[in-house]
Amino acid sequence: MDTVKPSPNNTPAQINIRTMARENLAQWLEQNNEPSFRAKQIFEWLWVKGADHFDMMTNLPKSLRVRLEKSFVFHIAEVDIVQKSQDGTIKVGFALHDGRMVEGVIIPTSKRITACISSQVGCSLQCSFCATGQLARDRNLAFSEIVDQVRGLNRFSIDQFGRGLTNIVFMGMGEPLLNLEEVFRATEILTAEEAMNMASRRITLSTVGVARGIRKLAERGSKFNLAWSLHAATNEKRAQIMDINKSNPIEKVVEAMKEFYARTKRKITLEYILFHKFNDSQEDARNLVKIAKEFPCFINLIEYNSVVGVSLERSTPIRSRRFLEILTDSGLEAHIRRSRGHDIDAACGQLAGKNND
Ligand code: SF4
């Protein structure tokens, strides 16, 4: 892990200990004439044993615990509201230390249990079909708040289904590539052998197409999966529903995706919500084929879930099937993803952290 940036909400005397990287803990210990090996012990208490108070850190001397107590606070994203869908999907609202709220979702299937997690409170991008986009971006999540969602959802998964999470997707509230450093730090904890030990290939970052962020992932040789929420196959149509297309048009993102594939050899997932008579015609499908032939990919066609105040509607089964056939007839790997958790507003594009109102 690299540099520590204490949360802007803290005074210098009250740094959130859970924003400290191991190296910075070691630095702090050194400055306070404590042995730096204690950093490993503190790190383990924080990220392996899940300590939420310094008194729990029983292998540290009492004098050090008192010092830590004076210099740091614990900010933990706590499970607050839980809703269960008829189809088994569970939505969890997490209360943040400053009274804000984000949502995460558990999606169980026979083979896997996926957690969909948030990276920001609200979102600055305001895609017209998305409930989160109706909230302004409030703030980025700290990496610890991202990790807390995974830990909280993992506990629920074990409790409800008898097994832990198998996959993580950054597809909840916010655009992860606009909070990339905190997302990177969170994934370091999630994948660290001595912490949560999840395989990188089980983690997917989903972006609306922030070319600069995609290139950064490529440069780091990222082992994560990458999904591109495309949702329209021409710049003209895409700009009507996604503001990001004005600064990051399709061809610019395609170039970044090619670079990502060249460096990582990981196939990209294209996410495409089918909107009735907006982007579900045969011509739209042929335009999507052209984009999808630019780099190795899978295509997920997604059923739209209504959002209050949005006039776009879900495509019909006949139009969706015809659209799918055009893709598969062109030799592309594509399927229609059924909507989950619709009855509790937990499906794609429906997360709005209603308690942030
Ligand atoms: S789809 Fe993603 S990027 Fe667009 S408004 Fe919703 S959360 Fe933000």
Q: Annotate 266-305 with three-state secondary structure.
A: CCEEEEEEEECCCCCCHHHHHHHHHHHCCCCEEEEEEECC
State the pLDDT at residue 48.
86
Is position 202 within any domain?
yes
Is there a single domain that holds both residue 36 and residue 86? no
15 within 8 A of 67, measured Cβ to Cβ = no
Residue 97 alpha carbon to ligand 1 centre in Å = 24
Is there a single domain that holds both residue 62 and residue 98? no
Is there a single domain that holds both residue 168 and residue 55? no
Can you tell me whether residue 121 is helix, strand or coil? strand
Report the sign of the C-alpha dihedral through residues 20, 24, 28, 33, in that order. positive
Is there a single domain that holds both residue 54 and residue 96? no
* Closest C-alpha to 229, from 258, 261, 270, 286: 270
State the pLDDT at residue 357.
43
Can you tell me whether residue 218 is helix, strand or coil? helix
> Which residues belong to the active site?
103, 348
With a 6 Å cutoff on the Cβ, whether 128 touches ligand 1 is: no
With a 6 Å cutoff on the Cβ, whether 124 touches ligand 1 is: no
Q: What are the beta bridge partners of residue 268?
A: 297
Is there a single domain that holds both residue 38 and residue 128? no
pLDDT along the chain (357 residues), means of 10: 40 76 91 94 90 93 95 92 91 94 94 95 88 80 94 93 95 94 92 87 96 96 92 97 96 98 96 96 98 98 86 94 98 90 70 55
With a 6 Å cutoff on the Cβ, whether 123 touches ligand 1 is: yes
* Closest C-alpha to 245, from 267, 230, 258: 230
Is position 4 within any domain?
no
Domain's final residue, options 33, 58, 73 = 73
Is position 7 within any domain?
no
Residue 293 alpha carbon to ligand 1 centre in Å = 25
Q: What is the CATH number of the domain that holds 101?
A: 3.20.20.70
Is position 143 within any domain?
yes
Is there a single domain that holds both residue 86 and residue 189? yes
Is there a single domain that holds both residue 198 and residue 271? yes
Q: What is the CATH number of the domain that holds 41?
A: 1.10.150.530
Is there a single domain that holds both residue 50 and residue 134? no
Residue 153 alpha carbon to ligand 1 centre in Å = 22
State the pLDDT at residue 347.
64
Is position 3 within any domain?
no
> Which of 132, 231, 272 best tests ligand 1's pocket when mutated (most atoms within 8 Å of CB)?
132
With a 6 Å cutoff on the Cβ, whether 132 touches ligand 1 is: yes
Domain's final residue, options 73, 95, 113 = 73
Is position 344 within any domain?
yes
The DSSP output letter for 113 is: E
Condensed to tens digits (0 to 9), the pLDDT of residues 306-324 reads 788 888 999 999 999 999 9
With a 6 Å cutoff on the Cβ, whether 133 touches ligand 1 is: yes
With a 6 Å cutoff on the Cβ, whether 131 touches ligand 1 is: no
Condensed to tens digits (0 to 9), the pLDDT of residues 218-265 reads 999 888 999 999 999 999 999 999 999 999 999 999 999 999 999 999
For the sheet with 101-108, list strands across it.
Answer: 78-84, 90-95, 101-108, 113-116, 167-170, 203-207, 225-229, 268-274, 297-303, 333-337
State the pLDDT at residue 353.
59
Q: How far apart are the first and last CA of the chain?
A: 35
Domain count, the chain: 2
Domain's final residue, options 73, 96, 119 = 73
Is there a single domain that holds both residue 118 and residue 24? no
* Closest C-alpha to 113, from 177, 156, 60: 156
104 within 8 A of 115, measured Cβ to Cβ = yes
State the pLDDT at residue 348.
63
150 within 8 A of 183, measured Cβ to Cβ = no
Question: Domain span at residue 333?
Answer: 78-356
**Amino acid letter, residue 18:** R
State the pLDDT at residue 2.
36
Is there a single domain that holds both residue 20 and residue 166? no
State the pLDDT at residue 109.
92
Residue 340 alpha carbon to ligand 1 centre in Å = 18
Is position 303 within any domain?
yes
Is position 6 within any domain?
no
> pTM for the complete prediction?
0.88
Residue 87 alpha carbon to ligand 1 centre in Å = 24
Is there a single domain that holds both residue 56 and residue 143? no
CA 123 to ligand 1: nearest atom: 8
Is there a single domain that holds both residue 177 and residue 135? yes
